[in-house]
Structure 1
Amino acid sequence: MGFTSAWGISAHPDPVIARLAPRLLPAIEADREAPGARARWDAWRRAPLPDHRTWYGGGTGGGTATADREAIESFRYLTAPGTRVDELCAGVRDPDFYVVDDLWDGQDLDHIFVSVHAKDYAVTSLFHAVGPARAALLPGWCGNFLLTADETRRALPRVEAALAFRPAERAAAEDKDWLYYAAGEESVLDGPLRVWRAAVRDGLGLCGVALHLG
Protein backbone atom coordinates (compact mmCIF):
# COMPACT_ATOMS: atom_id res chain seq x y z
CA MET A 1 0.00 0.00 0.00
CA GLY A 2 1.34 3.43 -0.94
CA PHE A 3 1.73 6.45 1.31
CA THR A 4 2.89 10.03 1.16
CA SER A 5 5.08 11.49 3.88
CA ALA A 6 6.42 14.93 4.72
CA TRP A 7 9.18 16.30 6.87
CA GLY A 8 8.99 19.99 7.63
CA ILE A 9 11.01 22.52 9.59
CA SER A 10 9.39 25.88 10.23
CA ALA A 11 10.53 28.97 12.16
CA HIS A 12 8.24 30.73 14.63
CA PRO A 13 8.34 33.35 17.38
CA ASP A 14 8.74 32.04 20.91
CA PRO A 15 5.05 32.53 21.84
CA VAL A 16 4.11 30.08 19.06
CA ILE A 17 6.77 27.62 20.25
CA ALA A 18 5.38 27.93 23.80
CA ARG A 19 1.86 27.12 22.58
CA LEU A 20 3.15 24.07 20.72
CA ALA A 21 5.22 22.75 23.62
CA PRO A 22 2.44 21.06 25.67
CA ARG A 23 1.31 19.20 22.55
CA LEU A 24 4.54 18.37 20.78
CA LEU A 25 7.23 17.84 23.42
CA PRO A 26 5.43 14.93 25.16
CA ALA A 27 4.80 13.31 21.77
CA ILE A 28 8.48 13.54 20.81
CA GLU A 29 9.54 12.10 24.15
CA ALA A 30 6.99 9.28 23.85
CA ASP A 31 8.45 8.30 20.47
CA ARG A 32 11.99 8.50 21.86
CA GLU A 33 11.02 6.21 24.75
CA ALA A 34 8.87 3.82 22.68
CA PRO A 35 9.80 0.14 23.03
CA GLY A 36 12.83 -0.65 20.91
CA ALA A 37 13.48 2.92 19.75
CA ARG A 38 16.79 3.41 21.51
CA ALA A 39 17.91 -0.12 20.64
CA ARG A 40 17.30 0.61 16.95
CA TRP A 41 19.26 3.86 17.23
CA ASP A 42 22.17 2.15 18.98
CA ALA A 43 22.20 -0.69 16.43
CA TRP A 44 22.45 1.77 13.55
CA ARG A 45 25.18 3.78 15.27
CA ARG A 46 27.21 0.60 15.82
CA ALA A 47 26.77 -0.66 12.28
CA PRO A 48 25.82 1.92 9.61
CA LEU A 49 24.04 0.37 6.65
CA PRO A 50 25.67 -0.51 3.32
CA ASP A 51 25.04 1.34 0.07
CA HIS A 52 21.28 1.69 -0.41
CA ARG A 53 21.57 0.28 -3.93
CA THR A 54 22.44 -3.10 -2.43
CA TRP A 55 19.30 -3.19 -0.26
CA TYR A 56 16.69 -5.83 -1.02
CA GLY A 57 18.84 -7.66 -3.52
CA GLY A 58 19.70 -4.66 -5.66
CA GLY A 59 23.15 -4.25 -7.18
CA THR A 60 25.51 -7.11 -8.00
CA GLY A 61 25.38 -9.11 -4.79
CA GLY A 62 22.49 -11.27 -5.91
CA GLY A 63 20.54 -10.76 -2.70
CA THR A 64 20.58 -9.35 0.80
CA ALA A 65 21.41 -11.45 3.84
CA THR A 66 18.66 -11.90 6.41
CA ALA A 67 20.69 -10.04 9.05
CA ASP A 68 21.16 -7.13 6.65
CA ARG A 69 17.46 -7.06 5.82
CA GLU A 70 16.62 -6.93 9.51
CA ALA A 71 19.06 -4.06 10.05
CA ILE A 72 17.58 -2.17 7.08
CA GLU A 73 14.03 -2.60 8.31
CA SER A 74 15.08 -1.59 11.83
CA PHE A 75 16.64 1.62 10.46
CA ARG A 76 13.63 2.42 8.28
CA TYR A 77 11.31 1.91 11.25
CA LEU A 78 13.55 4.13 13.40
CA THR A 79 13.53 7.00 10.92
CA ALA A 80 9.89 6.79 9.78
CA PRO A 81 7.47 9.27 11.41
CA GLY A 82 7.11 8.42 15.10
CA THR A 83 3.64 7.18 16.00
CA ARG A 84 2.80 9.84 18.59
CA VAL A 85 4.14 12.81 16.60
CA ASP A 86 2.58 11.46 13.43
CA GLU A 87 -0.85 11.13 15.01
CA LEU A 88 -0.62 14.52 16.66
CA CYS A 89 0.48 16.42 13.57
CA ALA A 90 -1.99 14.64 11.28
CA GLY A 91 -4.92 15.63 13.51
CA VAL A 92 -5.63 12.10 14.78
CA ARG A 93 -5.08 12.75 18.50
CA ASP A 94 -6.12 16.40 18.43
CA PRO A 95 -8.65 17.36 15.73
CA ASP A 96 -8.04 21.03 16.53
CA PHE A 97 -4.41 20.80 15.41
CA TYR A 98 -3.13 19.84 11.95
CA VAL A 99 0.43 20.88 11.24
CA VAL A 100 -0.07 21.57 7.53
CA ASP A 101 -2.88 24.05 8.15
CA ASP A 102 -1.77 25.44 11.50
CA LEU A 103 1.99 25.81 10.96
CA TRP A 104 3.00 25.40 7.32
CA ASP A 105 0.23 26.96 5.26
CA GLY A 106 1.07 30.56 4.42
CA GLN A 107 4.46 30.45 6.13
CA ASP A 108 7.14 32.80 4.80
CA LEU A 109 9.24 30.69 2.39
CA ASP A 110 12.44 31.97 3.97
CA HIS A 111 11.40 30.31 7.22
CA ILE A 112 10.19 26.90 6.11
CA PHE A 113 11.55 23.74 4.53
CA VAL A 114 9.19 20.89 3.60
CA SER A 115 10.19 17.69 1.82
CA VAL A 116 7.28 15.56 0.54
CA HIS A 117 7.70 12.09 -0.97
CA ALA A 118 5.57 9.19 -2.10
CA LYS A 119 6.48 5.81 -0.60
CA ASP A 120 9.57 7.20 1.09
CA TYR A 121 10.80 9.17 4.09
CA ALA A 122 12.98 12.28 3.96
CA VAL A 123 14.55 11.68 7.38
CA THR A 124 15.47 8.11 6.43
CA SER A 125 17.37 9.27 3.35
CA LEU A 126 19.01 12.19 5.16
CA PHE A 127 20.24 10.06 8.03
CA HIS A 128 21.59 7.41 5.66
CA ALA A 129 23.32 10.14 3.63
CA VAL A 130 25.06 11.83 6.56
CA GLY A 131 25.64 8.77 8.76
CA PRO A 132 25.08 8.24 12.48
CA ALA A 133 27.87 10.49 13.79
CA ARG A 134 26.44 13.55 12.05
CA ALA A 135 22.82 12.56 12.68
CA ALA A 136 23.58 12.38 16.41
CA LEU A 137 24.45 16.10 16.36
CA LEU A 138 20.91 17.07 15.38
CA PRO A 139 18.57 17.95 18.25
CA GLY A 140 15.35 16.18 19.11
CA TRP A 141 14.51 12.68 17.96
CA CYS A 142 14.80 11.49 14.35
CA GLY A 143 13.79 14.75 12.72
CA ASN A 144 11.27 15.87 15.34
CA PHE A 145 12.16 18.79 17.60
CA LEU A 146 10.79 21.97 19.14
CA LEU A 147 13.23 24.71 20.10
CA THR A 148 12.95 28.24 21.45
CA ALA A 149 14.90 31.00 19.72
CA ASP A 150 17.70 30.68 22.27
CA GLU A 151 17.83 26.89 21.91
CA THR A 152 17.87 27.26 18.13
CA ARG A 153 20.80 29.67 18.33
CA ARG A 154 22.76 27.46 20.71
CA ALA A 155 22.16 24.38 18.54
CA LEU A 156 23.38 26.02 15.32
CA PRO A 157 27.09 25.02 15.63
CA ARG A 158 26.12 21.36 16.02
CA VAL A 159 23.71 21.55 13.10
CA GLU A 160 26.39 23.17 10.96
CA ALA A 161 28.79 20.39 11.93
CA ALA A 162 26.14 17.86 10.86
CA LEU A 163 24.99 19.50 7.61
CA ALA A 164 27.88 21.58 6.28
CA PHE A 165 30.14 19.65 3.89
CA ARG A 166 33.48 19.92 2.18
CA PRO A 167 33.20 19.18 -1.56
CA ALA A 168 34.15 15.50 -1.24
CA GLU A 169 31.83 15.06 1.74
CA ARG A 170 29.00 16.70 -0.17
CA ALA A 171 29.51 14.40 -3.15
CA ALA A 172 29.49 11.34 -0.88
CA ALA A 173 26.30 12.49 0.87
CA GLU A 174 24.55 13.21 -2.42
CA ASP A 175 25.45 9.73 -3.62
CA LYS A 176 23.76 8.25 -0.55
CA ASP A 177 20.63 10.44 -0.73
CA TRP A 178 18.24 8.44 -2.88
CA LEU A 179 15.32 10.88 -2.93
CA TYR A 180 14.10 12.36 -6.20
CA TYR A 181 13.92 16.16 -6.42
CA ALA A 182 11.95 18.01 -9.06
CA ALA A 183 13.51 21.05 -10.73
CA GLY A 184 13.97 23.79 -8.16
CA GLU A 185 13.08 21.54 -5.22
CA GLU A 186 15.36 21.79 -2.20
CA SER A 187 17.35 18.79 -1.01
CA VAL A 188 17.27 17.47 2.54
CA LEU A 189 20.99 18.24 2.53
CA ASP A 190 20.29 21.96 2.03
CA GLY A 191 16.89 23.00 3.39
CA PRO A 192 17.30 22.26 7.11
CA LEU A 193 20.51 24.26 7.50
CA ARG A 194 19.12 27.14 5.42
CA VAL A 195 16.06 27.46 7.65
CA TRP A 196 18.16 27.07 10.79
CA ARG A 197 20.43 29.93 9.83
CA ALA A 198 17.45 32.11 8.88
CA ALA A 199 15.80 31.43 12.23
CA VAL A 200 18.95 32.37 14.14
CA ARG A 201 19.36 35.51 12.04
CA ASP A 202 15.78 36.58 12.77
CA GLY A 203 15.57 35.48 16.41
CA LEU A 204 13.02 32.70 15.88
CA GLY A 205 12.51 29.22 17.27
CA LEU A 206 12.09 26.06 15.21
CA CYS A 207 9.60 23.22 14.91
CA GLY A 208 10.58 20.07 13.04
CA VAL A 209 8.04 17.28 12.45
CA ALA A 210 7.69 14.24 10.22
CA LEU A 211 4.28 12.80 9.42
CA HIS A 212 2.21 10.81 6.97
CA LEU A 213 0.00 12.90 4.72
CA GLY A 214 -1.95 9.92 3.44
Structure 2
Amino acid sequence: MGYTGVWVVAALPDAELARFPKADELFVPPVEVEGERAWWEALYERSRAGRGARRLWEDEDADRLGRLIGGWYGETGPAEEFREAVMGWLEEPEPELFFAGVVRKAFPFGALAYGVGPGAVLALPGWFGEFVLTADQLRARLPEFEAVLERSGEERERVLDRVRAWLADLGDAPDYPVEELLDGPLRVARRAAARGWGLVGVAPVY
Protein backbone atom coordinates (compact mmCIF):
# COMPACT_ATOMS: atom_id res chain seq x y z
CA MET A 1 0.00 0.00 0.00
CA GLY A 2 1.42 3.38 -0.99
CA TYR A 3 1.76 6.50 1.08
CA THR A 4 2.88 10.10 0.67
CA GLY A 5 5.36 11.69 3.03
CA VAL A 6 5.16 15.41 3.73
CA TRP A 7 7.51 17.82 5.49
CA VAL A 8 6.18 21.28 6.30
CA VAL A 9 8.17 24.17 7.76
CA ALA A 10 6.18 27.33 8.45
CA ALA A 11 6.72 30.71 10.06
CA LEU A 12 4.11 31.64 12.66
CA PRO A 13 3.81 34.46 15.20
CA ASP A 14 4.13 33.36 18.81
CA ALA A 15 0.48 34.20 19.45
CA GLU A 16 -0.56 31.61 16.85
CA LEU A 17 1.87 28.98 18.12
CA ALA A 18 0.23 29.31 21.53
CA ARG A 19 -3.12 28.20 20.07
CA PHE A 20 -1.88 24.72 19.22
CA PRO A 21 -1.90 21.79 21.66
CA LYS A 22 1.01 21.84 24.09
CA ALA A 23 4.10 20.66 22.24
CA ASP A 24 6.50 20.35 25.20
CA GLU A 25 8.54 17.16 24.90
CA LEU A 26 6.61 15.99 21.84
CA PHE A 27 9.46 16.04 19.38
CA VAL A 28 12.53 14.63 21.10
CA PRO A 29 14.89 11.90 19.84
CA PRO A 30 13.70 8.43 20.86
CA VAL A 31 15.86 6.68 23.46
CA GLU A 32 17.05 4.09 20.95
CA VAL A 33 18.63 6.71 18.67
CA GLU A 34 21.93 6.82 20.58
CA GLY A 35 22.15 3.05 20.30
CA GLU A 36 21.65 3.29 16.53
CA ARG A 37 24.02 6.19 15.98
CA ALA A 38 27.21 4.17 15.41
CA TRP A 39 25.86 2.20 12.45
CA TRP A 40 24.15 5.30 11.04
CA GLU A 41 27.48 7.16 11.12
CA ALA A 42 29.13 4.19 9.39
CA LEU A 43 26.40 4.21 6.72
CA TYR A 44 26.90 7.93 6.23
CA GLU A 45 30.66 7.64 5.86
CA ARG A 46 30.27 4.82 3.33
CA SER A 47 27.83 6.89 1.30
CA ARG A 48 30.19 9.89 1.38
CA ALA A 49 33.00 7.68 0.09
CA GLY A 50 30.78 6.06 -2.53
CA ARG A 51 31.23 2.60 -1.05
CA GLY A 52 27.55 1.85 -0.41
CA ALA A 53 25.38 -0.57 -2.34
CA ARG A 54 24.73 0.50 -5.93
CA ARG A 55 21.02 0.56 -5.11
CA LEU A 56 19.91 1.59 -1.66
CA TRP A 57 17.16 -1.00 -1.54
CA GLU A 58 19.94 -3.61 -1.63
CA ASP A 59 21.67 -2.05 1.40
CA GLU A 60 20.60 -3.54 4.75
CA ASP A 61 21.81 -0.45 6.61
CA ALA A 62 19.72 1.86 4.43
CA ASP A 63 16.71 -0.36 5.06
CA ARG A 64 17.41 -0.19 8.80
CA LEU A 65 17.54 3.61 8.69
CA GLY A 66 14.28 3.63 6.74
CA ARG A 67 12.60 1.56 9.45
CA LEU A 68 13.85 3.93 12.15
CA ILE A 69 12.46 6.90 10.24
CA GLY A 70 9.16 5.19 9.49
CA GLY A 71 8.74 4.18 13.10
CA TRP A 72 9.01 7.78 14.22
CA TYR A 73 6.46 9.12 11.76
CA GLY A 74 4.11 6.28 12.64
CA GLU A 75 3.70 7.72 16.14
CA THR A 76 0.12 8.50 17.09
CA GLY A 77 -1.50 10.36 19.96
CA PRO A 78 -0.35 13.88 20.95
CA ALA A 79 2.22 14.17 18.15
CA GLU A 80 -0.37 13.32 15.51
CA GLU A 81 -2.88 15.71 17.06
CA PHE A 82 -0.30 18.47 16.86
CA ARG A 83 0.45 17.69 13.20
CA GLU A 84 -3.24 17.82 12.35
CA ALA A 85 -3.69 21.12 14.18
CA VAL A 86 -0.81 22.75 12.33
CA MET A 87 -1.91 21.45 8.94
CA GLY A 88 -5.43 22.68 9.58
CA TRP A 89 -4.15 26.17 10.38
CA LEU A 90 -2.02 26.24 7.22
CA GLU A 91 -4.80 25.76 4.71
CA GLU A 92 -3.94 29.10 3.08
CA PRO A 93 -0.32 29.83 4.03
CA GLU A 94 1.74 32.78 2.83
CA PRO A 95 4.04 31.30 0.17
CA GLU A 96 7.09 33.23 1.36
CA LEU A 97 6.68 31.94 4.90
CA PHE A 98 5.99 28.31 4.11
CA PHE A 99 7.80 25.28 2.74
CA ALA A 100 6.25 21.92 1.89
CA GLY A 101 8.08 18.87 0.57
CA VAL A 102 5.70 16.18 -0.73
CA VAL A 103 7.09 12.81 -1.83
CA ARG A 104 5.48 9.52 -2.87
CA LYS A 105 6.55 6.44 -0.88
CA ALA A 106 9.24 8.25 1.11
CA PHE A 107 9.69 10.77 3.92
CA PRO A 108 11.18 14.06 2.68
CA PHE A 109 13.09 14.72 5.88
CA GLY A 110 14.27 11.11 5.87
CA ALA A 111 15.91 11.72 2.50
CA LEU A 112 17.53 14.88 3.86
CA ALA A 113 18.69 12.99 6.95
CA TYR A 114 20.39 10.39 4.77
CA GLY A 115 22.06 13.20 2.86
CA VAL A 116 23.42 15.29 5.73
CA GLY A 117 24.09 12.47 8.20
CA PRO A 118 23.37 11.83 11.90
CA GLY A 119 25.55 14.58 13.34
CA ALA A 120 23.68 17.25 11.41
CA VAL A 121 20.26 15.74 12.13
CA LEU A 122 20.92 15.57 15.86
CA ALA A 123 22.11 19.20 15.84
CA LEU A 124 18.73 20.44 14.62
CA PRO A 125 15.93 21.25 17.07
CA GLY A 126 13.22 18.66 17.66
CA TRP A 127 13.48 15.33 15.90
CA PHE A 128 13.39 14.31 12.23
CA GLY A 129 12.14 17.66 11.02
CA GLU A 130 9.46 18.16 13.65
CA PHE A 131 9.89 21.01 16.12
CA VAL A 132 8.30 24.09 17.64
CA LEU A 133 10.37 27.25 18.20
CA THR A 134 9.20 30.58 19.55
CA ALA A 135 10.65 33.75 18.05
CA ASP A 136 13.34 33.97 20.76
CA GLN A 137 14.23 30.29 20.37
CA LEU A 138 14.50 30.62 16.60
CA ARG A 139 16.83 33.60 16.84
CA ALA A 140 19.06 31.60 19.17
CA ARG A 141 19.06 28.47 17.01
CA LEU A 142 19.09 29.90 13.51
CA PRO A 143 22.87 29.25 13.25
CA GLU A 144 22.12 25.53 13.68
CA PHE A 145 19.75 25.57 10.70
CA GLU A 146 22.36 27.41 8.66
CA ALA A 147 25.14 24.97 9.60
CA VAL A 148 23.04 21.98 8.49
CA LEU A 149 21.28 23.37 5.42
CA GLU A 150 23.58 26.01 3.95
CA ARG A 151 25.93 23.82 1.89
CA SER A 152 28.05 24.91 -1.05
CA GLY A 153 30.38 23.55 -3.68
CA GLU A 154 31.30 19.88 -3.76
CA GLU A 155 29.84 19.21 -0.31
CA ARG A 156 26.44 20.47 -1.43
CA GLU A 157 26.56 18.23 -4.49
CA ARG A 158 27.48 15.20 -2.37
CA VAL A 159 24.54 15.86 -0.05
CA LEU A 160 22.15 16.33 -2.96
CA ASP A 161 23.39 13.17 -4.65
CA ARG A 162 22.61 11.14 -1.51
CA VAL A 163 19.19 12.77 -1.15
CA ARG A 164 18.47 12.02 -4.81
CA ALA A 165 19.50 8.38 -4.39
CA TRP A 166 17.21 7.94 -1.37
CA LEU A 167 14.18 9.38 -3.16
CA ALA A 168 14.81 7.36 -6.31
CA ASP A 169 15.73 4.00 -4.74
CA LEU A 170 13.57 3.89 -1.61
CA GLY A 171 10.84 6.26 -2.72
CA ASP A 172 9.00 7.00 -5.95
CA ALA A 173 10.28 10.51 -6.64
CA PRO A 174 13.35 10.39 -8.90
CA ASP A 175 12.56 13.83 -10.35
CA TYR A 176 11.93 15.67 -7.07
CA PRO A 177 13.80 19.04 -6.94
CA VAL A 178 16.11 17.98 -4.12
CA GLU A 179 17.68 21.44 -3.78
CA GLU A 180 14.46 22.60 -2.16
CA LEU A 181 14.97 20.25 0.80
CA LEU A 182 18.01 22.36 1.71
CA ASP A 183 17.00 25.78 0.45
CA GLY A 184 13.27 25.89 1.27
CA PRO A 185 13.35 25.33 5.05
CA LEU A 186 16.37 27.63 5.46
CA ARG A 187 14.64 30.37 3.48
CA VAL A 188 11.56 30.15 5.70
CA ALA A 189 13.62 30.06 8.91
CA ARG A 190 15.51 33.19 7.94
CA ARG A 191 12.37 35.07 6.99
CA ALA A 192 10.66 34.04 10.21
CA ALA A 193 13.63 35.30 12.25
CA ALA A 194 13.72 38.56 10.31
CA ARG A 195 10.02 39.10 10.97
CA GLY A 196 10.29 38.22 14.66
CA TRP A 197 8.12 35.11 14.31
CA GLY A 198 8.53 31.56 15.47
CA LEU A 199 8.91 28.41 13.40
CA VAL A 200 7.17 25.04 13.35
CA GLY A 201 8.01 21.84 11.51
CA VAL A 202 5.69 18.85 11.12
CA ALA A 203 5.79 15.71 8.97
CA PRO A 204 2.34 14.18 8.42
CA VAL A 205 1.91 11.03 6.39
CA TYR A 206 -0.99 10.42 4.01
Amino acid at match of 2:127: W
Is 1:118–2:99 an aligned residue pair? no
In structure 1, the residue corresponding to 2:5 is in which secondary structure?
A: strand
Is 1:166–2:152 an aligned residue pair? yes
In structure 1, the residue corresponding to 2:203 is in which secondary structure?
A: strand
Within-5 A mapping of 1:108-187 = 108-178=94-164, 179=167, 180=173, 187=180
In the superposition, relative to structure 1, how do residues 20 and 52 fare at CA in structure 2: closer, same or farther (>3 Å)? farther
Residue by residue, what CA displacement relative to the aligned partner does 1:113-155 show, whole Å, maximum 9, x if unpaired?
0111111101110100111111122101111111100101110
1:123–1:142 contact (8 Å) kept in structure 2: yes
1:121 & 1:5 partners in 2: Cα distance? 5
Residue by residue, what CA displacement relative to the aligned partner does 1:152-207 show, whole Å, maximum 9, x if unpaired?
11100111111111211100011001334768786211111111001011110011
Over aligned residue pairs, what C-alpha RMSD do you find?
2.7
Number of the residue aligned with 1:2: 2
1:70 CA displacement: 6.1
What TM-score, normalized by structure 2, do the two folds share?
A: 0.79
2:54 & 2:153 partners in 1: Cα distance? 22
2:192–2:198 contact (8 Å) kept in structure 1: yes
Residue by residue, what CA displacement relative to the aligned partner does 1:73-112 show, whole Å, maximum 9, x if unpaired?
4433355454346521464xxxxx3x3331x221111110
Residue by residue, what CA displacement relative to the aligned partner does 1:32-81 show, whole Å, maximum 9, x if unpaired?
4xxxx321354135533244753332xxxxxx45xx36633443335545
**How many percent identity over aligned positions?**
30
Total equivalences in the alignment: 191
2:66–2:110 contact (8 Å) kept in structure 1: no
1:85–1:210 contact (8 Å) kept in structure 2: no
Within-5 A mapping of 1:23-172 = 24-29=23-28, 32=29, 37-48=30-41, 49=43, 50=47, 51=52, 53-57=54-58, 64=59, 68=61, 71-77=64-70, 80=73, 82-84=75-77, 87-89=80-82, 91=84, 97=85, 99-102=86-89, 104-172=90-158
Deviates more, 1:43-52 or 1:139-148: 43-52
Is 1:14–2:7 an aligned residue pair? no
2:73–2:205 contact (8 Å) kept in structure 1: no
2:174 & 2:183 partners in 1: Cα distance? 12
1:26 CA displacement: 4.7
2:163–2:178 contact (8 Å) kept in structure 1: no
2:152 & 2:62 partners in 1: Cα distance? 32
1:21–1:146 contact (8 Å) kept in structure 2: no
In structure 2, stretches of 5+ residues that fail to align are 168-172
What TM-score, normalized by structure 1, do the two folds share?
A: 0.77
